[in-house]
Structures are given as structure tokens and as C-alpha cells.
Amino acid sequence: MANKVIISGGGTGGHIFPAIAIANALRQLQPDVEILFVGANGKMEMDRVPAAGYEIVGLDIQGFNRQSMLKNLILPFRLIASMWKARQIIRQFGAQAAVGVGGYASGPLLQVANMMGIPTLIQEQNSYAGLTNKQLGKKAQRICVAYENMERFFPAEKIMLTGNPIRRSSVQIEGKREEAIHAFGLDLDKKTVLVTGGSLGAKTLNDCLTEGLERLLDKNIQIIWQCGSYYYEKLSEELKDKLTDSVKLMPFLERMDYAYAAADFIVARAGAGTISELAVVGKPVVLVPSPNVSDDHQTKNALALSEHKAAIMVSDLSARMHLVDELMAVIDDEATAYELGERIKEMALLDADVVIAQEVLKMIK
């Protein structure tokens, strides 16, 4: 009889992608495994997961609303209703294991699975565990983490250092530099900076680059700039006189492997998935953590690297003053750039999806 696994969580690409990667690895290891996803209604996973070829059921759950305290009054009722529905889903599906990757739905689903005696695994992506995962960790059988020193959040005997599952296709850059530079219509002899605020873009990075663009161009630097679809039209209009052949402004990067292969230096946010990809890519990185995430996760992720001399961190607050200066200093200092690339490579863990999938199947046995 086929094994049955529920994978729960989402809310952002940073949670959804690892979830799909784990599901793909489970299928690779055991082709007849049955997988059901559980997400939050109205969130990104309800579209992205079916597009990846998996069935998903939604819970009517939301996070704490900082704008409207009134909306938070119904939170306890939504949580109870979600737990009740989670119980029905687990029973009907006949789940033998449950995996939580973070996001609104993973809390109630894993809590109920724990109460029903079904083995659970948590995939903690960040260097600082959130409140929900800390609670779930008490009952979970296995906690797969991406950073060392996570014993301050979870029981040491349950922790396994696996890294975060990443998009393999995005980090396969070996031997692609020339092909990538040509694909972007750039110059093979110039140094290239990749600036990426993720699929949604990042206003701080866009503002910093807008202000510092001429300085970088004067230095003979060329730029691949993923600005996000929300900002693209406005920036195209604002910068139309400055968008030379050396500046490739794009709403979204379809071929992340080309962007990474072409880049000599990278400026990025500090989401857990992004950092895991950057470690495998092994290029000098300047990180600007987003301040708009719970528990200030991104700052803690970036600190875990900068304290290791594996990246340079510039706070969101000081970025307009210092980001371009820090970037130009690294471009000018070959020894530091080389050291940053080597140090971040040491933190790379490539087979997280397969290792986590193996743990899930072990739990069932």
C-alpha cells in the first residue's frame, strides 16, 4: 500500500518552493507515494501547488493583522475551525506523516497531527525560529534546519542540519557565463552586478540603485536589475534616459541560472531560500534584510552570514546612505570579494530536499 504524506504551509514563495521540492524528492524516492498539500485559502500556494502538479486543500486561516485589531477578534474562532477541518482532512486522506514548512496553515495542521499521534517533521528555514515552530517542535519527531546552533529553539536530539531545499535549475550555473552574458546582451569584459529584491521586488533596493546608478555606470559596471512587476513601469519611465545597454531592468527574471551565472557580485534581500541559493552559487554578496517580516527573520539570517564573513550586511534603514558605497568597496577589493565567495560556499548544502524526504519515509517505517 502506498505511503500517504501531507505537506502543509505556504504564504510566500520562500515557503512554497521548499514544500514542492520535498514533494518532488518524495516522488523520486517512492514513485507511488500519495501527497496532499494543505494551504491557507486566498494565499499564493492555492495557485502555485496545483501548477506544480499536486492537489491542495485550503484552511480558512490568517495571521495576526497589525493594521486592524478588530479583525484579530475572529482569529481564535478561525483557528478552532481550521483545526477541526485539519482533523477531517487527515482522517479522510489517511495521512501517515505530516510535514510543516511554515506559513499560516502549517500551525493548525501539525498541531492536530501531533494530537492524533501522526509523526510530524518541521522544516525550519530561518536562523531564528518563529513562535509557532517552537511550539510544534516540542512534539515533532524531526526538525530539519538550515543553520547551526538551533538548540536554543528546539530539543537538540530532534535537530538535523539539512539546509533548505532549493530550485536546482536556478543554481546550475557551471560553464554558463558566456551564454548568460550574451542572453542579457551584456559585455563579456565588464564586471556585472545582479540586484534582486525577489519576485515582488524591493523598494529600498530600487531606490538605492536609482540614486547610485550613475556612479556604478561611471565605474564601467553593468547591471542586471530585477525590480519587481509592481515597480517596473514607474522605474522604466523615471530612468528612460539612463537605461543604456549596460543596465538590464526587468520586472522578473525567468532564467535565474543565467542571472547568477552572469553576475560577479550580487545585491539581494536575505530570505532563507535566497540565502540557500546564494551559498551554492558562491559569489560575493551584499545583503539588505527586509524589515517587513515576522520576528525580523531576515536580519538574523543575514547576521548568521556576516558574522561568518560570508556576506556583507547593510540594514534597510541605512541602505540609502551606505549600500552603493559598500558595493563599490567590494568591487574594488579583490581579496575581500574572493574571501566572501569562498566563505559563503562553505555554507552550501545541496541535497536538502532528498535528505528531508528520506527522513519523512523513515518516520513512516
The three-state DSSP-derived secondary structure of 175-191 is: CCHHHHHHHHCCCCCCE
Binding residues, as ranges, are 12-14, 126, 167, 199, 298
Binding residues for UDP-N-acetyl-alpha-D-glucosamine, as ranges, are 12-14, 126, 167, 199, 298
User: To which H or E segment does residue 353 belong?
Assistant: helix 352-364
How far apart are alpha carbons 21 and 196 in whole angstroms? 22
Q: Write down the pLDDT at residue 102.
A: 85
How far apart are alpha carbons 6 and 332 in whole angstroms? 50
Q: Can you tell me whether residue 165 is helix, strand or coil?
A: coil
Q: Write down the pLDDT at residue 66.
A: 60
Q: Count the alpha carbons within 13 Å of 220 in the hemisphere toward its beta carbon.
A: 6
Q: Write down the pLDDT at residue 349.
A: 86
Q: Write down the pLDDT at residue 17.
A: 86
Q: What's the pTM value of the predicted model, to 2 decimals?
A: 0.85
Q: Which CATH superfamily is domain 169-345 in?
A: Glycogen Phosphorylase B; (3.40.50.2000)
Question: Closest by alpha carbon to 95, among 32, 1, 6?
Answer: 6
Q: Please, what CATH class does the domain formed by 4-165+351-364 belong to?
A: alpha beta
CB atoms within 10 A of CB 116: 14
Q: Write down the pLDDT at residue 68.
A: 63
pLDDT by residue for the chain (365 residues), tens only, comes to 789 999 998 777 778 889 999 999 999 999 999 999 999 998 889 998 999 999 999 998 776 556 666 666 767 777 788 889 999 999 999 999 999 998 888 999 999 999 999 999 999 998 888 888 899 999 999 999 998 899 999 999 999 999 999 888 889 999 999 999 999 999 999 999 999 987 677 889 999 999 999 999 999 999 999 999 889 999 999 888 888 889 999 998 989 999 999 999 999 999 988 999 999 999 999 999 998 877 788 999 999 999 999 999 999 999 999 999 999 999 999 999 999 999 999 989 889 999 999 999 999 98
- Where in the chain is CATH 3.40.50.2000? 4-165+351-364, 169-345
